[in-house]
Amino acid sequence: MASVPVLKKDLDDLPGQAANRTTPSQVQHYDAIIIGAGFSGIANLHRLRQDGLKAHIYEGASDFGGVWYWNRYPGAKVDSESPFYQLNIPEVYNTFNFNVRFPDHKEIRRYMAHVDKVLNIRKDCSFDSRVNSATWDEESGQWTIKTDNGLVGRAKYLILASGLLHKTHTPDFPDIDKYKGMLRHSGDWPEDTSVKGKKVAVIGAGATSVQIVEELAKEADHLTMYLRRPSYCVPMRQRKWTVEEQDGFRAYYPALFAAGRNSAVGFPTTRADLRVQDVSPEEREVYWEEIWKGGGFQFLLRNYSNVMLDEEANRLVYDFWKKKVRERLTDPKKQELMAPDEMPYYFGTKRTPLEHDYYDVLNQKNVEIVDLKANPLHCFTEKGLQLGGEGQQAGEQAFDVIVCATGFDSFTGSLTHMGLKNKDGVDMAGVWKGGVRTYLGMTVSGFPNAFMVYTPQAPTALSNGTTILEAQMTWICDAIKALDAVGAKSIEATPEAEDEWAAGIDKVNSMTLYPHTNSWWNASNIPGKKTQNMTYLGGINNYEAQCRATMDGWKGFKVVCA
């Protein structure tokens, strides 16, 4: 769902655009309504069509893409490599070629256009239609949605495919309105923006900041990055991917997709069976060099079995990582900020970005790094930022451009800002005020016939996006098919099932190092939001098996027959 009214692309001349324009004069009736036209929404629409159901997507943006419609900042690209970051639909993947190993935002939108061309998705979509109300009628057993542009839709089933990282977050910086220069959030970036010859500040050092800094530092006259904690970046190993390679490789796609679906994180890789301490320092050094060279997430996914369980093992991995980074980031002051002797948090317990030339860029003389712990940001000024602390970085710092790479209201932001109400009329924001509660990461007590995709309390943050959303989509559509076959009126999770699901997630998390680090993974980045474990750590394969087991007798659900 869209919440930032920027980058509204005019699509009047695109084929099929007129077909999705419904008038607000009458209620449109469907079997299922889908909110969101990203990967999740498209996957669900395609499957529901195959099952013979009438489904429709409502999307606040002007075209397909979801997060990739809005994220157009410099360097924005996927950190899941092709061919795995795509839908497992043969007629689509057999006729599309990626240009590089890790596609950027433009290539993802090109892919989306191809999906539409092949599957004719657009005819069942209403764009520029931001949902502002979703209510349940008990008597009819239907959901009614309303949009900002006056559309009204009604359906038995509601599928919430509005995204994990959509609702942008800008901290409540004092006097931010006083700043007279160019102010941008990463999620609000017109593509024609140039910083050539300008003095730029980037607030934040997470995954988005890494991509932005890599690009802007090559164009700006001077760039200052403000950080609280460094990211532990691993090498992307970006490269071109030829058509000939893909043609030769395509026959293996079905096996690769199946292996990814039967894995922990959506990639057909295996973790080493040994603990870090089970091998000699020399042997593990050789192995670490091997998986480091592989690029992508191989250094995380193929590492030793106890890295996320054992403090000593984690420290040894950090020391190797620090050595590799310091071989490239040679400035001693920058080394201490970006790869300090004492690790600021356990390795892998917050998002580990992929980088192409990030540390080489940080070495540039036109790049400065400011530690916000030593020089806290007091407020914005007309010219830039006012910093506290001591030294030459204290005081007012003037900038032509300030970029807020400050993240998102993750997991729940899109769901708590669309007027979504439960059967008692309570808004989702109120339902989750004391913390997120779900069953299977797909259903919520009090919301009959409503399903979520790419969600909290699922393996979402630690898995390939298209793999986990297809696992959830398959369960949801299979559930709808089974319920309709017996004439069920509604299905709803029980509060007891939610309690049990949360307890299981917390139990597994407590055995790991994840609870020791705060980040958007546990919602601690949003003031007032409950800090809690949001991720199912058992892996996609175990998650999907556990979810499917509930369908036998609908364990944890209340099913009402018509």
- Cβ contact 383:200 at 8 Å: no
- Cβ contact 307:279 at 8 Å: no
The H or E element spanning position 86 is none
The H or E element spanning position 77 is none
Residue 512 CB neighbour total at 10 angstroms: 17
In angstroms, the CA 288 to CA 299 distance is: 7
Closest CA to 185 of 70, 97, 302: 70
Least confidently predicted of 208-222, 288-302, 409-423, 461-475: 409-423
The two tokens of residue 127 are 């764009």
For the chain, how big is the Rg over CA atoms in Å? 24
Whether the predicted pLDDT of 12 surpasses 80: no
Average pLDDT (113-132) is: 98
**Strands annotated E in 228-289:** 234-235
In angstroms, the CA 400 to CA 182 distance is: 6
Over residues 499-524, the pLDDT tens digits come to 999 999 999 999 999 999 998 888 88
Taking CB atoms within 8 Å and a gap of at least 24, the contacts of 278-286 are: 278/304, 279/304, 284/316, 285/320
Over residues 274-299, the pLDDT tens digits come to 999 999 999 999 999 999 999 999 99
Whether the predicted pLDDT of 13 surpasses 60: no
Band of pLDDT at residue 3, cut at 50, 70 and 90:
very low
Band of pLDDT at residue 165, cut at 50, 70 and 90:
confident
In angstroms, the CA 391 to CA 409 distance is: 34
Share of the chain above pLDDT 90, in %: 87
What is the structure's pLDDT at 167?
A: 77
In angstroms, the CA 385 to CA 200 distance is: 11
H helices, E strands: number in the chain? 16, 19
In angstroms, the CA 67 to CA 534 distance is: 20
What is the structure's pLDDT at 17?
A: 41
Band of pLDDT at residue 16, cut at 50, 70 and 90:
very low
- Cβ contact 159:44 at 8 Å: yes
- Cβ contact 9:191 at 8 Å: no
Who has greater pLDDT, 519 or 167? 519
* Residue at token pair 């055995």: 511
Whether the predicted pLDDT of 300 surpasses 80: yes
**Total residues found in the chain within this entry:** 562
Tell me the average pLDDT of the chain: 93
In angstroms, the CA 326 to CA 330 distance is: 6
Give whole-number Cα distances, 117 to 19, 110, 114, 123, 378, in Å. Answer: 14, 11, 5, 11, 51
∠ CA(30), CA(34), CA(261), 5° rounding? 125
Torsion of CA 208, 210, 214, 215, to 10 degrees: 10
What is the structure's pLDDT at 562?
A: 80
105 Cβ contact partners less than 8 Å away, ≥ 6 residues apart? 68, 71, 72, 76, 77
Over residues 403-436, the pLDDT tens digits come to 999 988 888 888 999 999 999 999 999 999 999 9
Share of the chain above pLDDT 70, in %: 96
Least confidently predicted of 106-115, 161-170, 226-235: 161-170
Model pTM score: 0.93
Q: Structural domains in the chain?
A: 18-167+410-561 (3.50.50.60), 176-404 (no CATH)
Whether the predicted pLDDT of 210 surpasses 80: yes
Using DSSP, state whether 508 is helix, strand or coil. helix
In angstroms, the CA 328 to CA 477 distance is: 49
State the burial class of residue 293 (Cβ atoms within 10 Å of its Cβ: 0-12, 13-18, 19+).
exposed
- β-sheet with 395-398: strand ranges across: 377-380, 384-387, 395-398
Residue 38 backbone class (left: φ over 0; alpha: ψ -120 to 50; beta: rest): beta
Band of pLDDT at residue 10, cut at 50, 70 and 90:
very low
Over residues 92-104, the pLDDT tens digits come to 999 999 999 999 9
What is the structure's pLDDT at 101?
A: 97
Closest CA to 70 of 109, 100, 99: 109
Average pLDDT (346-359) is: 97
Average pLDDT (4-19) is: 34
DSSP string, 92-158: HHTT---SBSS-BHHHHHHHHHHHHHHH--GGGEE-S--EEEEEEETTTTEEEEEETTS-EEEEEEE
